[in-house]
Chain A
Amino acid sequence: MSAAPSLLEVRSLTRRFGGLTAVNSVDLDLAEGEFLSVIGPNGAGKTTLFNLITGHDDPDGGTVKFSGRDITRLPPEWLATLGIARTFQHGRVFANLSVMDNVLVGAHVRFKAVRPAWPSPLSLLGPFAEVALALIRPSSVVTEEKRMREEALRILARFGDRLLPRLDHPTYSLSYANRRRVEIGRALALGPKLLLLDEPTAGMNQTETAEMQTLIGDLKKSGLTILLIEHKLDMVMQLSDRVIVMDNGSVIANGKPAEVRNNPAVIEAYLGHRRSDKSEASVPEAAE
């Protein structure tokens, strides 16, 4: 238990697929500003855990609390308004949208002028107002759009000259690594309180991985609360305040990177039973 109040509080979260328990009574606490990584072999249930936290899948049991509020089973579009942003394991950019538009969609919930939040009976008229405002474009709407575009440019500038020269390119034309960057840019545009990254460096080469690590390190320094799934343990060990290890749906270890690294249960999960008896080896650098 950390001393700071939890931003994210997961209690006995469980999800079964038929006979398989993909996530088995998982507890997890994430303090504000903390950097927590979830590691574990393929099929350990990490992505399912992410999907449960972000509302893409409904748990069979357990609760998720965010800033003290119960968010279990809330749909993803609500969670976005609360400030939870995520990236996806295999990448989900909007392929036919430009780099700039992808990032602007990330800021969708922050557009207030063009999407007036009216009280209950009037809220039914919201969609009509939204169409009207999009067509008429009063100055408030125009300035808001301009402000968001400037901010999107600042976010994209974080990636050096990887994306800035390609603002108008549709993302299907980008390299794999660049698409992953667009995804992270889009997540940042939400102005998240909690950022969930699902294998942000999968499929990247060493240089690109190092670049990404620096970027995530910067995000951490800026005080952003981050939950990371990653297989590249080097990166996990360097960035994380704490590490959670999952195997077969359950948390088998939870602690500081160095503690987790030498935990026999973790070594067993990664290397199998017989070998871990003989070898003194710690967790391999990359478990792919």
Chain B
Amino acid sequence: MSSWFDYTVNGLIIGNIYALLAVGLALIFGVSRLINFAHGSVYVVGAYAGFLAVTQFGTPLPLTIVIVVAVGALLGLAIERFGLRPLQGYAHIAPLLATIGISFVLDQLVQLTFSPDPRALPSELLQKRFQIGSGTIGALDILIAAIGIGSAGLLYYFLRFTRLGWAVRATAQDRDAAQQMGVDVDAVNRTVFAIASALGAVSGLLVGMYYNYIDPSMSFQATLKGVVAQVVGGVGNVPGAIAGSMLLGLVESYGIALFGTSYRNLFAFILLIVVLVLRPNGLFASRRQTPPEPMTGTFIAPSKPVQISPRTLLAIALAAALLPLVLPNPYVLQTLTNAWLYGLLGLSLTLIAGTVGLISLGHAALLAIGGYASALLSLDLGMPVGLSILLAGVIAAALGTLLVFPSFRLRGHYLSIATLAIGEIVSLVILNWDSLTRGPIGVSGIPPLSLFGFELDTDRSVYWFALGVLVVLAALQFRLLRSHLGRTLRAMRDDDIAARSYGIGLDRYKALAFAVGSFAAGVSGGITAHLYSYINHETFNSQLSILALTIVILGGMGNVTGAILGSVLLVGLPEVFRVAAEYRVLIYGIVLLLLVRFRPQGLLGTV
């Protein structure tokens, strides 16, 4: 029995920490209808600020907390001022993408400053424990609970009884009306970001103290957990966020008790998917409402795509094919081969996110499915490599479509969250399904690329193979976009309600597009697996999903040529300038931010 008491206490403490994150996310969503993907980065910055204060200056705990609150609040102000305020009046997707960019920049900065290695965050409270009945409770547990309950109380007082708190609530209910009544909406936004970020930073500090462990990669998990807790409680609903956090903490804690630690996140994400699909408004809300009628499609920045004649494209493709004969430099060829493979990923995402408007944040999962499928088919079943890659595409298409299908009814940001979670689920299943995937050891000795019995063992032949696959799939995608399917898919993206009115079954066409797109991603993953000869559950990580998104936005949403151009630029240019690997993700983040701000339609324009 005592262990169940401990698990419950543990669940509630973790829930308290999630609540500090989720409440901030809920406040931000309330006033700006935005899911802040940079929230986890604020949490990490908070943890490291506390670490710095304690280890360098030996600050006592109360002072550390004050410092962390101040750092978090200032960071929140900066994110609001420089990252989001300039995007007012942009397409709905712009601020979301900006927060993703900000989070990459912040995480990388932390990582470059403090190194990716984990650090210990010492706390004198950790050792103290009190006996309660048959269980025990730590001094730190009490502190976390006190901070959680204390901040909730302060927040309640602020929202309920102060002038600015009224303004926040008014803005959350109707931003335009509040503004017309003289509420300074910018000030409200600033305040909310400062409060939310201060809470998030404190949460990071507390987690660091609780586990006596911090590292920069906590950011992504923190964002996810905060988002899960918030969605479970109902997006934008502050009491709901607290309840959702407690529920999530308990589910995780009991889950660990029953199945073990490596399943922890699996429960969180499955809970998320179940809630999203069954009660997308959260467990504590029950409003069914039709979305407002937009004047025009506001989802994607309207633009005139750059027209490139088929003849020019053919000439470029020919030049690319002749390149190995003119310039047989293995380094250039390997880099470009990489670019072609990312180009395939770009084709996939530009169809799904650009043409259909399903902004997938878990696209790397399709690479992983394709990579594992082709590797295991050729290794375990002895299938010829060409065939296994083709089948990898088919399996990625089937499995990918099946996994997202329940989420198709979600719109906008919700769908993005669902794909993010599905991506994580795939990676966790790969990690835990030892008998099929060899678990954490990964798959090694994957046979090299070959076609019809001929081994592709030179840089040149691999280059041609990747280029050939890319050209064929790009040509097919062009043809698809110019058929009735092209306009049907784009119509759904621009206005799904009007599209339904004209007989377009959304699920059917979303699934169809997702399957076609996933095929290209699966093939790309398959080829990659044979090139690397070793893959594990981290080969296709979530950073690749964001790279794919950056490629697609750089080229122009839905733009086939743009996806390939974006991939050549983002994969090729860092190689040309010999940028060290640890700076690349930073560059992707900065590129994403600059694009969203200054050229949201991408280089070649939205199609």
Q: Verify that A and B bind, or say they do not.
A: yes
Of B485, B505, B511, which contacts A77 at CB under 8 A?
A: B505
A105–B488 CB distance below 8 A: yes
If A92-B495, A96-B302, A170-B302 touch, whether A131 touches B512 (CB-CB below 8 Å) is yes
Of A90, A96, A102, which contacts B300 at CB under 8 A?
A: A96
* Interfacial chain B residues near A223, Cβ < 8 Å: none
Shortest distance in angstroms between B348's beta carbon and chain A's nearest beta carbon?
A: 15
A190–B502 CB distance below 8 A: yes
Q: Can you list, as one digit per residue, whether each of A52-93 has a CB less than 8 Å from chain B (1) or not (0)? A: 001011000000000000000001110111000110111111
Q: Flag whether B127 is at the interface (Cβ < 8 A).
A: no
Within 466-522 of B, Cβ neighbours of A (below 8 Å) are at 476, 479-480, 483-485, 487-488, 490-491, 493-495, 497-506, 508, 511-512, 515-516
Within 83-132 of A, Cβ neighbours of B (below 8 Å) are at 85-86, 88-97, 101-102, 104-106, 108-109, 111, 114, 126-127, 130-131
Q: Flag whether A250 is at the interface (Cβ < 8 A).
A: no
Q: Can you list, as one digit per residue, whether each of B293-310 has a CB less than 8 Å from chain A (1) or not (0)? A: 111110010101000000
Of B296, B304, B505, B511, which contacts A93 at CB under 8 A?
A: B296
Q: Flag whether B606 is at the interface (Cβ < 8 A).
A: yes
Of A96, A135, A145, which contacts B494 at CB under 8 A?
A: A96
* Interfacial chain B residues near A57, Cβ < 8 Å: 290
Which residue of B300, B483, B502, B512 has the most chain A CB atoms within 10 A of its CB atom? B502
Main DSSP-derived SS at the B contact region:
helix
* Interfacial chain B residues near A81, Cβ < 8 Å: 503
Please report the C-alpha to C-alpha distance between residue A130 and residue B479 in the assembled complex, in whole angstroms. Answer: 13
Q: Flag whether A181 is at the interface (Cβ < 8 A).
A: no
If A56-B290, A93-B296, A94-B297 touch, whether A127 touches B511 (CB-CB below 8 Å) is yes
Of B290, B487, B497, B515, which contacts A101 at CB under 8 A?
A: B487
Shortest distance in angstroms between A247's beta carbon and chain B's nearest beta carbon?
A: 22
Please report the C-alpha to C-alpha distance between residue A114 and residue B483 in the assembled complex, in whole angstroms. Answer: 10
If A127-B511, A135-B479, A172-B296 touch, whether A92 touches B487 (CB-CB below 8 Å) is no
B500–A94 CB distance below 8 A: no
Please report the C-alpha to C-alpha distance between residue A108 and residue B505 in the assembled complex, in whole angstroms. Answer: 11
A92–B302 CB distance below 8 A: no
B504–A77 CB distance below 8 A: yes
A92–B500 CB distance below 8 A: no
B502–A114 CB distance below 8 A: no
Shortest distance in angstroms between A120's beta carbon and chain B's nearest beta carbon?
A: 15
Interface size class of B (residues with CB under 8 A): 35 or more
Q: Flag whether A276 is at the interface (Cβ < 8 A).
A: no
Which residue of A77, A86, A96 has the most chain B CB atoms within 10 A of its CB atom? A96
Main DSSP-derived SS at the A contact region:
helix
- Chain A count of residues within 8 A CB distance of the other chain: 46
Of B476, B480, B484, which contacts A145 at CB under 8 A?
A: B484
Q: Flag whether A263 is at the interface (Cβ < 8 A).
A: no
Chain A residue with Cβ nearest B302: A172
A137–B483 CB distance below 8 A: yes
Q: Flag whether A134 is at the interface (Cβ < 8 A).
A: yes
Chain B residue with Cβ nearest A173: B302
Please report the C-alpha to C-alpha distance between residue A96 and residue B490 in the assembled complex, in whole angstroms. Answer: 8
If A88-B498, A97-B487, A108-B502 touch, whether A131 touches B480 (CB-CB below 8 Å) is yes
A76–B508 CB distance below 8 A: no
Within 41-60 of A, Cβ neighbours of B (below 8 Å) are at 51, 54, 56-57
Q: Flag whether A261 is at the interface (Cβ < 8 A).
A: no
Chain B residue with Cβ nearest A57: B290
Please report the C-alpha to C-alpha distance between residue A101 and residue B504 in the assembled complex, in whole angstroms. Answer: 14
* Interfacial chain A residues near B607, Cβ < 8 Å: 96
Shortest distance in angstroms between A225's beta carbon and chain B's nearest beta carbon?
A: 17
* Interfacial chain B residues near A131, Cβ < 8 Å: 480, 485, 512, 516
A92–B497 CB distance below 8 A: yes
B498–A94 CB distance below 8 A: yes
Of A54, A90, A111, which contacts B501 at CB under 8 A?
A: A54
Please report the C-alpha to C-alpha distance between residue A81 and residue B292 in the assembled complex, in whole angstroms. Answer: 25
A105–B487 CB distance below 8 A: yes
* Interfacial chain A residues near B488, Cβ < 8 Å: 105, 108
A105–B491 CB distance below 8 A: yes
Within 335-350 of B, Cβ neighbours of A (below 8 Å) are at none
* Interfacial chain A residues near B606, Cβ < 8 Å: 96
Q: Flag whether A171 is at the interface (Cβ < 8 A).
A: yes
Please report the C-alpha to C-alpha distance between residue A152 and residue B164 in the assembled complex, in whole angstroms. Answer: 55
Shortest distance in angstroms between A146's beta carbon and chain B's nearest beta carbon?
A: 12
* Interfacial chain B residues near A231, Cβ < 8 Å: none
Please report the C-alpha to C-alpha distance between residue A217 and residue B457 in the assembled complex, in whole angstroms. Answer: 73
Shortest distance in angstroms between A71's beta carbon and chain B's nearest beta carbon?
A: 14
Q: Can you list, as one digit per residue, whether each of B568-607 has a CB less than 8 Å from chain A (1) or not (0)? A: 0000000000000000000000000000000000000011
Please report the C-alpha to C-alpha distance between residue A76 and residue B508 in the assembled complex, in whole angstroms. Answer: 14
Q: Flag whether A186 is at the interface (Cβ < 8 A).
A: yes
* Interfacial chain A residues near B495, Cβ < 8 Å: 92-95
| 18 A–B pairs (Cβ distance < 8 Å), ordered by A | A56-B500, A77-B504, A80-B501, A88-B293, A89-B293, A90-B294, A93-B498, A94-B297, A97-B494, A101-B487, A105-B491, A105-B499, A105-B502, A108-B502, A131-B480, A131-B512, A145-B484, A171-B296
Q: Known A-B contacts: A170-B304, A172-B302. Give 7 more (CB < 8 A).
A: A54-B501, A91-B293, A92-B294, A105-B502, A106-B502, A108-B484, A127-B511
